[in-house]
Structure 1
């Protein structure tokens, strides 16, 4: 009886952690897909690219370019983004990867020449786009809490 109970509890723990991991799997995006991060063929290219996707906490974005000089510059506000303000956190090498660990809206542009004015800019909205006002629990903590809850329920109902 105790062996069966231990097996059931162990199975439930492994299954719940596996389900949580699968539901929260992060995605790696190559910004702009085959075009990469460069001056786009039209000024709405990156807006269209982001509108076709839903970004979540843990997703990684790779800013890649093969020709020319570019940057991935993160600016702080929508106004700076709209005005192509070229002051912010500048990432100057191709292949740079950025991973977001909280909901929020992030504004990126190329600060080289007139690239931003030509449409090399994009808004990345993680989750609902609203930054949390408190520290969100980690996925590991959520998985551990779920496993504990399922284990407790299993023990309760199997006894």
Structure 2
């Protein structure tokens, strides 16, 4: 019985050490490659629906600078393809990286021409880790 207690204590301490290891942020390249006019209207929605994103992760938008950009907006702006009340500066250089500090839904659109209405927009659900 006396030898079982130190073994149990060692196992519990090892479990605590494993749980205390910090997790690293994951970089999610939006769409899996380039931020551009998609081949189908649900391309970015499908990508986001198949990607688990956590607080602390990064969304990485890769695009041809001068041809595309990205800005974070609210839900209304996303639906209307508007960026009147944008939440962030328009990022015009690639890669554009958004660090995700909070859980919830985040919306992003391209402000070049009519690209947003052509599908260059995405919303993602950020999960609490």
Structure 1 unaligned runs (5+)?
Answer: 129-138, 140-159
Look up the match of 1:109. 109
Deviations 1:38-57 (A, max 9, x none): 11112211001100012111
Distance 1:19 1:92 in 2: 39
Look up the match of 1:83. 80
* Residue 71, structure 1, aligned to residue 69, structure 2: yes
Look up the match of 1:97. 97
Q: Secondary structure in 2 aligned to 1:91? A: coil
Cα deviation for residue 95 of structure 1 reads 0.7
Distance 1:83 1:47 in 2: 16
Q: Which runs of 4+ in 1 moved over 4 A?
A: 11-15
Deviations 1:10-58 (A, max 9, x none): x855642433437x44321111112x11111122110011000121111
Cα deviation for residue 79 of structure 1 reads 1.7
TM-score by length of 1: 0.65
Structure showing greater radius of gyration is 1
**Cα distance, 1:13–1:95 mapped onto 2, change above 3 Å:** farther
TM-score by length of 2: 0.78
Equivalenced residues, count: 121
